[in-house]
Amino acid sequence: MASVIKVEHLTYIYGEGMPDATTALDDISFEIEKGEFLGVIGPTGCGKSTLITHFNGLNRPTRGKLYIDGEDIWADPKKIRQYRFKVGLVFQYPEYQLFEETVRKDIGFGPRNMGLSDEEVDQRVVEAARFCGLDEAVLERSPFELSGGQKRRAAIAGVIAMRPEVLVLDEPAAGLDPEGREMILSQVKRYHRETGTTVVLVSHSMEDIAKYADRVLVLQAGKVAMLDTTANIFARAEELVSYGLSVPEVTKIFLQLREMGLEIPVDVYTVKYARDTILNALARQGGGDRA
């Protein structure tokens, strides 16, 4: 499968040449495939947020290159703006960026800046609102009258309305209750499934990554520690823990069962997978009827 983003020997140093210079990213290389849902995890300070701000040119590599659709985005700095429409970036707590009189105007801000007609802008606003679970009646309200979850969805809709090739979300469910968290992430997954847009999700929640990601990128001290399918990443649970990361609770249970001497796999990372694994084990032992 072709890559939509290619990172090649990328290094980023904060305050290069200064006494307190800090290397946030250290000679990293990897590719993000078109249409995939990639999870990005790593301990605090590992470089996750610094990395994703390179994807749309908010940060420029100290060394190395970054390609979108095979094009070096910094080959001509005057053209960097076009890549910011290709890669939509949703920061943590994006609702703090809402500022327009109505939700409709706020969601339409990006498309208007793209030079689209009023008709096209309105079509995109309605479509993005639908993807994010916002009723059309909400569009005429002030964004400051909305609930916290609605504000978050409106902010995400503003990025989706630009129809980026890649949607990058940095902790999009941070601070929300479990119901709000599930609503936001399930809508992002539905958007990914229905449009085929590449999605990159940065999260501290191993459960969220396990549930939604196809592949997982693990950063450690500014380097790529792992990049593999979700199943293969969580099969290395003990290694993840050594990096200071958590693993899904269900994975912890299976690790403990393995330590107790049970012959069971350790790549279990969702409740459904755990259930199927247990039923299969019972069936092999002739206990399937008791499940």
Q: Which residues contact 43 (CB under 8 A, 6 or more apart)?
A: 220, 243, 244, 245
pTM: 0.88
What is the band of 10 on the pLDDT scale with cuts at 50, 70, 90? Answer: very high
Comparing 251 with 149, the larger pLDDT belongs to 149
On whether the CB atoms of residues 73 and 251 are closer than 8 A, the answer is no
Whether the CA torsion 232, 178, 275, 252 is positive or negative: it is positive
**Percent of the chain, pLDDT > 70?**
96
pLDDT digits (tens, 9 = 90+) for 182-220: 999 999 999 999 999 999 999 998 889 999 999 999 999
pLDDT digits (tens, 9 = 90+) for 16-45: 989 999 999 999 999 999 999 999 999 999
Asked if residue 272 has pLDDT above 90, the reply is no
Query: How confident is the prediction for the chain on average, in pLDDT?
Result: 91
Asked if residue 172 has pLDDT above 70, the reply is yes
On whether the CB atoms of residues 251 and 237 are closer than 8 A, the answer is yes
What is the band of 46 on the pLDDT scale with cuts at 50, 70, 90? Answer: very high
Asked if residue 155 has pLDDT above 90, the reply is yes
Asked if residue 146 has pLDDT above 80, the reply is yes
Asked if residue 288 has pLDDT above 50, the reply is no
* pLDDT for position 287: 52
Question: What average pLDDT does range 91-113 have in this prediction?
Answer: 93
* pLDDT for position 28: 97
Our CA dihedral for 37, 38, 43, 46, rounded to 10 degrees, sits at -140
* pLDDT for position 260: 79
CA distance 12 to 64: 9
* pLDDT for position 120: 97
pLDDT digits (tens, 9 = 90+) for 227-259: 999 989 988 888 998 998 887 788 778 777 777
Asked if residue 266 has pLDDT above 70, the reply is no
Q: Which two tokens stand for residue 57?
A: 């040119």
On whether the CB atoms of residues 91 and 170 are closer than 8 A, the answer is yes
Asked if residue 290 has pLDDT above 60, the reply is no
Comparing 141 with 282, the larger pLDDT belongs to 141
CA distance 165 to 87: 6
Asked if residue 264 has pLDDT above 60, the reply is yes
Query: Quick one: which of 246, 252, 243 has its CA closest to 274?
Result: 252
Query: Quick one: which of 54, 68, 30 has its CA closest to 225?
Result: 30
Asked if residue 7 has pLDDT above 80, the reply is yes
Residue 281 phi/psi, 5° resolution?
-65, -40
- In the chain, the domains with their CATH numbers are 1-75+165-234 (3.40.50.300), 98-160 (no CATH), 248-291 (no CATH)
CA distance 115 to 8: 32
